[in-house]
Amino acid sequence: MTFSVHGLAVSRGIAIGRAVLVASSRADVAHYFIDASRTADEIQRLRVARDAVSEEITRVQRDLPKDAPHELSALLDVHLMLLQDEQLISGVKHWITDRLYNAEWALTTQYEIIARQFDDMEDEYLRERKADLEQVVERMLGYMKGVASPVLPAAPPPTGRAPRQQDLLLDDTMDVPLVLVAHDISPADMLQFKQSLFVGFATDVGGKTSHTAIVARSLDIPAVVGARSASQLIEQDDWVIIDGDAGVLIVDPSPIILAEYGFKQRQGELERQRLNRLINTPAVTLDDQKVELLANIEMPDDTAGAVSMGAQGVGLFRSEFLFMGRSKLPDEQEQYLAYRKAVEGMNGLPVTIRTVDIGSDKPIDKLAGRTQDGQLNPALGLRAIRWSLADPPMFLTQLRAILRAAAHGPVNLLVPMLAHGSEIRHTLSLLDFARAELDNKGITYGPVKLGAMIEIPAAALTLKLFLKYFDFLSIGTNDLIQYTLAIDRADESVAHLYDPCHPAVLRLIADTIAECNAQGKGVSVCGEMAGDTSMTRLLLGMGLRSFSMHPSQILAVKQQVLRADAGKLQRWAQEVLASEEPAALL
């Protein structure tokens, strides 16, 4: 029966595919298709893992101390029984042989199916056996991770290309398009999906500018977040339409609905082709104002996408993605090579590298050192520059790596979340120290322009202080909105109050742009607002001439720029700023 689930639209377009339910804790499990000739090997891998886990449990059981509670041995019996469970084994085999899932993916898929059956059980004792099944599956996954495939091989699907929506016609083969449905996915895990095969995704939680949503946008696949109970309502393998424009999921669609969305999908494709014609067109308004369109990237390889969309540089390299999802922080050489790769990838165009913005909804792995466990309010806690200043050796390592990369092309160094004069001075003195360290060792480095992010209202209200020290400012609207309105950007329950057009937010943005323009300093917007075409005219009217966004948004924003008359927009922007309901005028 068809039903729909509503959430927040975060990444445009329509995706149609079969649901793959991924538990949040297992988002880092490898998901790839195997070659049809390898099904027996894959089943064998599972068998070996199962036998190894069985042996381990039997050994533990044998070595139990005499005074161990009787229940412990009984519990281990349950685990041994679950390992031999026919539903688990035959299900996993099905996913491997019929759908060509790799072993880990097949195992977690079947686990999700059985886990739901446990959830539905009346008997409490039986319901609780789900935890045992989970432990058994975790052990097998752990075993396979240690001895088998890498976490995420970039293996092509069997046909040698990514599955596409057209494959919908190839009913019931392993080649059907797949959409990912999860309760939550961390930004780091989301990044793994960059090389994956999903054509769309949906999560129960998250706000429009949560970092998971931001990564989804950078993947440029249709996505909906904040869809509340989607991962409960949707079942493994259900057909799902993800409408990333409207923020709606349609489950088990009827043929008529499918045809309608198929049509929308083709329209979207045509629109993209039309925009592609603008790639080499300079971004200039009708009244001859040049506008700079820059790219936001998460990894050095993203520069290829930025260049292909005609970006005039990188306005925001979120360097923290190099630090996430790993057990050890990257050392100076690794960071230097990554930054250098980005610089070289832009072929002489400037690259703005932001120092790490760890914390809040971008935690690092527990093993990698300090985590935020126990922090009451991480968005207001040890995040971004605060995190860096709290660990000078870590920060100096990053600063040296950025300075060294600057020897290979133009680099801007951008500092996130500054609010206090003391933080500014501390940061600058560490930068001097990093330079001195490199001088002492005779290591080559290059010049950098220095920028600060304006994303805390306190910063926007003390611009003169910032402009005294920095060459340019970059407005982080995602956080500026969050901190001005006291709305957690990642919390879907207050997403309706996360309002980019609130008069207070617009005032802070307009004043920042005006002050920089008056002092002849560079200013750009690198929050999600820069890529939102409904805001382009207003930002132009406020005097903004530099926008940094996901490469996939560049052409749509350019189209707005080409149609705009900046002089007329300047007068109109003043009216919008004076209005009680600015959104009504856009």
Query: Which residue among 144, 485, 526, 577 contacts ligand PEP (CB under 6 A)?
Result: 526
Catalytic residue flag (residue 501): no
218 binds ligand PEP (CB under 6 A): no
Which of the ranges 5-13, 15-23, 230-238, 472-480 carries the binding residues for ligand PEP, by CB under 6 A?
472-480
Residue among 477 and 484 whose Cβ is closer to ligand PEP = 477
Contact 46, 111 (CB under 8 A): no
Residue among 22 and 530 whose Cβ is closer to ligand PEP = 530
Applying the rule CB under 6 A, the residues between 331 and 360 that interact with ligand PEP are 357
* DSSP annotation string for 399-421: HHHHHHHGGGS-EEEEE-S---H
| H or E element that contains 481 | helix 477-485
Contact 127, 119 (CB under 8 A): yes
For residue 13, the SS3 value is coil
Q: For residue 273, give both structure tokens.
A: 């082709």
455 binds ligand PEP (CB under 6 A): yes
318 binds ligand PEP (CB under 6 A): yes
Cβ density class 92-101: b for 16+ within 10 Å, e for less: bbebbbebbb
Residue among 361 and 479 whose Cβ is closer to Mg ion = 479
Catalytic residue flag (residue 70): no
The listed partner (ligand PEP, Mg ion, none) that binds 477, CB under 5 to 8 Å by sort, is: ligand PEP
Q: List Cα–Cα distances, 299 to 64, 167, 541, in angstroms.
A: 49, 30, 32
For residue 291, the SS3 value is coil
Q: What's the closest the beta carbon of residue 328 comes to Mg ion, in angstroms? A: 25
303 binds ligand PEP (CB under 6 A): no
Closest CA to 118 of 131, 127, 107: 127
How big is the site for ligand PEP, counted in residues (CB under 6 A)? 11
Residue among 500 and 582 whose Cβ is closer to ligand PEP = 500
Burial of 17 (0-12, 13-18, 19+ CB in 10 A): buried
**Contact positions vs Mg ion (CB under 5 A):** 455, 476, 479
Choose the catalytic residue: 408, 516, 526, 550.
526
The H-assigned helical ranges of 84-233 are 86-97, 103-119, 124-147, 187-192, 211-219, 230-233
The H-assigned helical ranges of 229-347 are 230-233, 255-276, 303-308, 332-345
Choose the catalytic residue: 31, 211, 408, 550.
211
Q: For residue 221, give both structure tokens.
A: 């696949």
Q: Quote the CA–CA distance of 554 and 220 in Å, as a whole number.
A: 12
479 binds ligand PEP (CB under 6 A): yes
527 binds ligand PEP (CB under 6 A): yes
207 binds ligand PEP (CB under 6 A): no
Residue among 109 and 209 whose Cβ is closer to Mg ion = 209
- Per the document, the length of the chain is 586
Q: Quote the CA–CA distance of 121 and 258 in Å, as a whole number.
A: 34
Burial of 441 (0-12, 13-18, 19+ CB in 10 A): exposed
Query: Which residue among 265, 477, 546, 560 contacts ligand PEP (CB under 6 A)?
Result: 477
Closest CA to 434 of 317, 335, 319, 348: 335
Which of the ranges 27-35, 276-284, 471-479, 563-571 carries the binding residues for ligand PEP, by CB under 6 A?
471-479
Residue among 316 and 351 whose Cβ is closer to ligand PEP = 316
Which of the ranges 51-59, 250-258, 474-482, 501-509 carries the binding residues for ligand PEP, by CB under 6 A?
474-482
549 binds ligand PEP (CB under 6 A): no
CA 420 to centroid of chain Cα atoms: 29
Q: What's the closest the beta carbon of residue 497 comes to ligand PEP, in angstroms? A: 17
Residue among 137 and 454 whose Cβ is closer to ligand PEP = 454
196 binds ligand PEP (CB under 6 A): no
Which of the ranges 89-97, 98-106, 217-225, 476-484 carries the binding residues for ligand PEP, by CB under 6 A?
476-484
The listed partner (ligand PEP, Mg ion, none) that binds 318, CB under 5 to 8 Å by sort, is: ligand PEP
Instruction: Note the residues at the interface with ligand PEP (CB under 6 A).
Output: 214, 316, 318, 357, 455, 476-479, 526-527
For the annotated catalytic residues, the residue numbers are 211, 526
